[in-house]
Amino acid sequence: MARLPFVAGNWKMNKTVGEAVDLVRELQEAISGVKEVEVAVAPPFTALYAVRRELEGSRIRLAAQNLYWEEKGAFTGEISPLMLKEVGCDYVIIGHSERRQYFGETDETVNRRIKAALAQGLKVIFCIGETLKEREEGRTF
């Protein structure tokens, strides 16, 4: 069985809820004729629910930008795989270079996140890549 090409858009810390819904409406129309590609969008956490509602019946899948490995607890500001699954996420981005650079994520914590995501049936978009500086310096291509 051949694998479909996969394209995901990580919106990072951009778009309010209203802007996210508008963007996904435009995206659905823009790719309506594209059939042989799997597509996912990763809006900010605040827009996940609204974007999921807008995507009902669409072939575009919902992705989260990160998760924490625990299902619940005193982890202020974090989001669990169970919460992401409940809101309708199919995918989660894990190990992004920005998370490693700015938030101190390590191979160990990335591994814990991956295991937690898979345990909840989320598909992992595992980032292995460079920082912007490394890319601009041509060090990693």
Per residue in 68-83, pLDDT (tens digit) is 999 999 999 999 999 9
Nearest residue to 28 via CA among 64, 53, 1, 2: 53
Residues with pLDDT less than 50, the chain: none
What confidence score (pLDDT) does residue 5 get?
A: 96
pTM strictly above 0.85: yes
What confidence score (pLDDT) does residue 44 get?
A: 98
What confidence score (pLDDT) does residue 141 get?
A: 61
* Cα(66)–Cα(50) distance, integer angstroms: 18
* Cα(71)–Cα(67) distance, integer angstroms: 10
What confidence score (pLDDT) does residue 79 get?
A: 98
Q: How is the chain split into domains, by residue range?
A: 6-136
Fold assignment, 6-136: TIM Barrel (3.20.20)
Burial class (CB in 10 A: 0-12, 13-18, 19+), 139: exposed
The per-residue pLDDT for range 38-54, each reduced to its tens digit, is 999 999 999 999 999 99
- What Å distances lie between residue 34 and 5, 17, 63, 65, 99, CA to CA? 11, 26, 19, 24, 32
